[in-house]
Structures are given as structure tokens and as C-alpha cells.
């Protein structure tokens, strides 16, 4: 394909170059397939969690592990959408950093607030036995 | 590859050129999306915080198990996976539209924008059905010693702990004929509601199949507010994305971008649309998968 040789906007010093038609199509196809496969795996894990929950003695650790796996897969999906579909991967490094570095705040944000919620639960369970009795998951019929 | 090679050896910050080699509007779109990510992030983290503070939370596979036209079949995750694929595919058509714009291919842009708009409308329709189903679908809940039928609303959620044994049989005796008749009607659709209402209470109780009817307590109230609030806010983004894409379609069709000599506007609309898809990936994770 032919590139425009003049910058299309005064802010842009260099004409934006894009991948050739062939390479572009290959990349989009690859990313689409990848996103679909990841989604299917996520759904598979979701159904696995469902069957574990339905089982006679759900293992809490196993469920937590599967949930962690889904979170990692979701981050992978997010990476492909942002980097390929939104073309952030093709921008100048400084520009990428100006978007990605502020997002690092999420690491603290998520950790702090989940920790806080969990701590509130623990405090309530130890000081408010009525709350604990009323809301804790009872073992289902066949169990203990 | 693209700008990396162009950028080799260039002193970007010496003045006279844009250090990011990006059009102003597109850069500002990126910063807007970054701030929007924090808005969505704050909502989802607040949901997570409340969820972590509870001993019991509704199992998404129990809440979201319906598919249009499938009646009472238990199909966890089925409908939401359809919605997810609709958004992924509409994101792909948007990429193709933006690419057609790079080449100045007006017909291509129009074609792919139309598919993207269609995908957006399909997603919104799915969401409308899902909300309707959650709000109007009634479930048997044990509250104040009797059975009530409630839907998933902002004021209550019917997905609490399962109740079994004598608690259920005692509660059934205190339950109104109206509720009992509805419960029977659920599983014996052939029977006339008016006839059921005339039956005595104990006969109706005898007709309820306790092995098949799951009776639960009320679940945490916060679930409704968070679910409708966050999916609603996302749905609003999809809706505004569709409107933006329709405006882009009209402008393309009228030849505005051809006269301008570039299709940068489509790129900015595309960024917004991909962001909507990106947010859905996380909403999908937080509400349906974990």
C-alpha cells in the first residue's frame, strides 16, 4: 500500500506508517483467534468452578486457584486488545509510558481495598457472632 | 515496524516537533480513556471490597443461567458468552474499519462501521433481555418465616443460602395461597392459575415438588446495585459508542473525511469502541466468572 508522504496533521512530524495489507490481516486474524481461544478457556474454567461448587465437598483452594487463572487470562486479553486493536504497541515509547505508568496505581488500589473489605469481614465475624451465624455458608445437606 | 524505525536517532524533545508524534485529539482520547479506566476500576474495586466483606455471595453460575428461548433450562455462562463474542467480533470489525480509513477506502469504512454498529445494537439488546429476565424472573425466598417470590432488583436478591428440611415445610404453612399457586404454576404450566388459586393451602403445598424447588434465603442487597450500576454504566458506554459510530458513518457517507484528506476521526471513534470492549472483559471477569 502507498503511504501519504505529507503529515496529515500539524502535530505529526512523520507520516504514520502502517503495516502492509497482508501483515495487517494476518495480525488481526491471529489476535481474533487468540482472544476467542482465551475466552473459551475462561468459560471452561468458569464451568469447572461451577461443577466444583456443586460437588459434595468443594475445595476452597482449588476454586481460588482457578479464579486466579481466569484473572491472568483476562489480563492477557486486555493486553492484546490494547496493544494490537488499539495500536498502543505501535506508538512511541514515551507516549505508551504516559498512559501505562499512571495505571500502575491500580496495583495499590486493588490490593488496599480488597484487604480492607476482608479485614472488615474478619472483624465483624469475631465481634458480631450473630452476623457470622446468619451469613456463613452452611455445608449442604449430605455433608456433616 | 512503524514509528519505532522512524523514531531512530531523532531528538524528540528538542522542539519543533510533536514529542509523541500523535495528533492532539487522539492523544487526548487516550488520556480520557485512561481516566475512564479509573472510573470503571473504582466501581469494580468497590464491588470487590464489599464482596470481600461478606461471608456469603451469590454464585454467578446460579444467577446467570438463562438463555432466551430455553425456558427454565439451567445453562450457566451460555448467554453471557454470546454477549462477549458479539463485543469481540464488533471490535474486530472496528479494526478493519480503521484500517480501511488509513487507505482512504470510503466504501470499506462504511461497510465495517455498519457491522460494528450492528454488533453494538445486538449487545445492547442482549443486555436488555438479561436485565428484564433478572428483574421479572421470580424466585422462592424464605423471609420472615414464610415463602416469598422476589426478582433480582436493587432492593433484594433471591440468591442467598439454600434452605432445606423443616425450615421449608414450616415456612410453606405460613405462605399465602397466591404465592403457593404461583410456585405450583411454575412447574405445572398446563394448570390454570385461576383454578390453582381456588385450591386449599395444604393441597397446594402437597403439589410442590420440594426436591426440585430450590428455596433460598435473601442474599446480600449490595449485589443488585453493583450489578445494575456497573453493567448499566458499561451499557451506557456501548450506547454512546453506537451513537458516535453512527455519527462517523454519516460523516463518512457524506464525504467529510475525504475532503479533509484523512480518516483520523474514525481512529478516535475506534479507540473508544475498543475501550468499551476492554471494559467488558473486566466486567465479564468480575460478575460472571469469579
pLDDT of residue B81: 93
State residue B181's pLDDT score: 86
CA B104 to chain centre: 35
d(CA B74, CA B278): 28
Alpha-carbon torsion (B45, B47, B48, B54), positive or negative: positive
The domain segmentation of chain B, as residue ranges, is: 22-136+226-289, 139-207
> Nine-digit cell at B22?
500523535
Q: Which residues of chain A have pLDDT under 70?
A: 1-19, 138-144
| Whole-number pLDDT of residue A141 | 42
Residues 88-147 (B) with a CB less than 8 A from some CB of A: 88-89, 91-92, 94-96, 99, 102-103
Instruction: Print burial letters for B146-164: b (CB count within 10 Å at least 16), e (below 16).
Output: ebbbbbbeeebbbbbbbbe
For residue B135, the model assigns a pLDDT of: 94
Q: Tell me the HSE value of A104 on the side-chain side, using a 13 A CA sphere.
A: 6
Q: How far is CA B255 from CA B5, B126, B258, B259, B264, in A?
A: 33, 33, 5, 6, 14
Contact A45 B289 (CB under 8 A): yes
B76:A47 CB<8 A: yes
C-alpha cell recorded at residue A66:
482457578
Tell me what ipTM this predicted complex has: 0.87
Best of B88, B166, B282 to substitute, by most chain A Cβ atoms within 10 angstroms, is B88
Cβ within 8 Å, pair A13-B76: no
B253 touches chain A (CB under 8 A): no
Q: Tell if the CB–CB gap between A46 and B92 is shorter than 8 Å.
A: no
Residues of chain A contacting B1 with CB distance shorter than 8 Å: 19, 90
Provide the phi-psi class of B104: left if phi over 0, else alpha when psi is between -120 and 50, else beta: left
B54 close contact with A: CB closer than 8 A? yes
Residues 6+ apart with CB under 8 A from B73: B66, B67
**Could you tell me the fold of the domain covering B22-136+226-289?**
1.20.120
Cβ-Cβ pairs closer than 8 A, A with B, add up to: 191
Specify whether the CB–CB gap between B75 and B65 falls below 8 A.
yes
- Interatomic CA distance for residues B162 and A124, integer angstroms: 22
**Nearest to B130, CA basis, from B66, B183, B72:** B66
Cα–Cα distance, B180 to B70 (Å, whole number): 24
Q: Which residues of B touch A99 (CB under 8 A)?
A: 30-31, 34
CA distance A79 to A25: 19
Cβ-Cβ contacts under 8 Å, A127 against chain B: none
- Nearest CB among B2, B27, B274 relative to A18 is that of B2
Q: What pTM, to 2 d.p., does this model score?
A: 0.89
Q: Is the dihedral of CA B20, B23, B28, B31 positive or negative?
A: negative
> What whole-number distance in Å separates Cα of residue B272 and Cα of residue A111?
28
Q: Show the DSSP H helices in B188-261 as ranges.
A: 193-198, 201-207, 222-253, 256-260
Residue boundaries of the structural domains of chain A: 19-90, 92-131
Q: Which segments in chain B show pLDDT lower than 50?
A: 1-5
Least Cα distance to A79 among B282, B269, B234, B2 occurs for: B282
Amino acid at each position: 500500500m502507498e503511504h501519504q508522504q505529507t503529515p496529515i496533521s500539524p502535530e505529526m512530524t512523520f507520516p504514520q506508517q502502517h503495516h502492509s495489507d497482508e501483515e495487517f490481516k494476518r495480525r488481526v486474524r491471529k489476535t481474533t483467534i487468540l482472544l476467542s481461544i482465551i475466552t473459551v478457556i475462561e468459560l471452561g474454567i468458569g464451568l469447572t468452578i461451577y461443577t466444583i461448587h456443586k460437588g459434595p465437598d468443594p475445595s476452597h483452594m482449588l476454586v481460588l486457584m482457578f479464579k486466579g487463572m481466569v484473572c491472568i487470562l483476562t489480563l492477557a486479553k486486555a493486553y492484546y486488545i490494547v496493544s494490537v486493536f488499539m495500536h498502543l504497541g505501535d506508538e512511541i515509547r514515551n507516549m505508551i509510558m504516559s498512559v501505562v505508568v499512571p495505571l500502575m496505581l491500580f496495583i495499590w488500589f486493588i490490593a488496599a481495598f480488597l484487604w480492607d473489605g476482608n479485614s472488615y469481614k474478619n472483624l465483624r465475624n469475631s465481634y458480631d457472632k450473630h452476623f457470622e451465624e446468619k451469613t456463613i455458608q452452611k455445608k449442604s445437606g449430605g455433608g456433616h | 515496524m512503524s514509528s519505532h524505525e522512524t523514531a531512530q536517532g531523532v531528538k524528540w524533545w528538542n522542539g519543533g516537533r510533536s514529542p509523541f508524534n500523535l495528533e492532539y485529539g487522539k492523544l487526548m482520547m487516550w488520556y480520557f480513556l485512561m481516566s475512564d479506566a479509573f472510573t470503571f476500576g473504582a466501581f469494580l474495586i468497590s464491588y470487590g471490597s464489599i464482596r470481600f466483606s461478606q461471608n456469603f455471595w451469590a454464585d454467578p453460575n446460579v444467577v446467570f443461567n438463562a438463555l432466551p428461548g430455553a425456558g427454565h433450562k439451567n445453562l450457566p455462562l451460555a448467554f453471557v458468552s454470546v454477549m462477549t463474542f458479539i463485543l469481540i467480533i464488533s471490535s474486530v470489525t472496528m479494526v478493519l474499519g480503521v484500517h480501511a480509513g488509513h487507505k482512504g477506502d470510503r466504501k470499506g469504512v462504511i461497510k465495517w462501521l455498519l457491522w460494528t454498529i450492528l454488533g453494538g445494537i445486538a449487545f445492547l439488546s442482549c443486555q436488555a433481555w438479561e436485565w428484564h429476565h433478572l428483574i421479572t424472573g421470580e424466585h422462592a425466598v424464605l423471609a420472615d418465616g414464610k415463602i416469598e417470590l422476589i426478582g433480582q432488583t436493587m432492593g433484594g436478591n433471591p440468591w442467598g443460602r439454600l434452605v432445606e428440611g423443616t425450615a421449608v415445610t414450616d415456612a410453606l404453612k405460613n405462605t399465602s395461597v397466591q404465592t403457593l399457586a404461583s410456585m405450583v404454576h411454575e412447574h405445572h404450566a398446563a394448570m390454570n392459575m385461576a383454578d390453582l388459586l381456588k385450591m386449599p393451602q395444604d393441597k397446594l403445598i402437597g403439589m410442590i415438588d420440594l426436591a426440585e424447588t430450590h428455596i433460598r434465603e435473601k442474599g446480600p442487597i449490595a449485589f443488585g446495585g453493583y450489578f445494575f450500576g456497573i453493567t448499566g454504566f458499561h451499557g451506557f458506554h456501548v450506547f454512546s459508542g453506537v451513537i458516535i459510530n453512527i455519527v462517523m458513518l454519516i460523516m463518512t457517507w457524506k464525504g467529510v473525511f475525504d475532503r479533509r484528506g484523512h480518516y483520523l476521526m474514525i481512529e478516535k471513534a475506534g479507540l473508544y469502541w475498543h475501550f468499551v470492549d476492554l471494559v467488558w472483559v473486566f466486567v465479564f471477569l468480575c460478575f460472571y466468572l469469579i
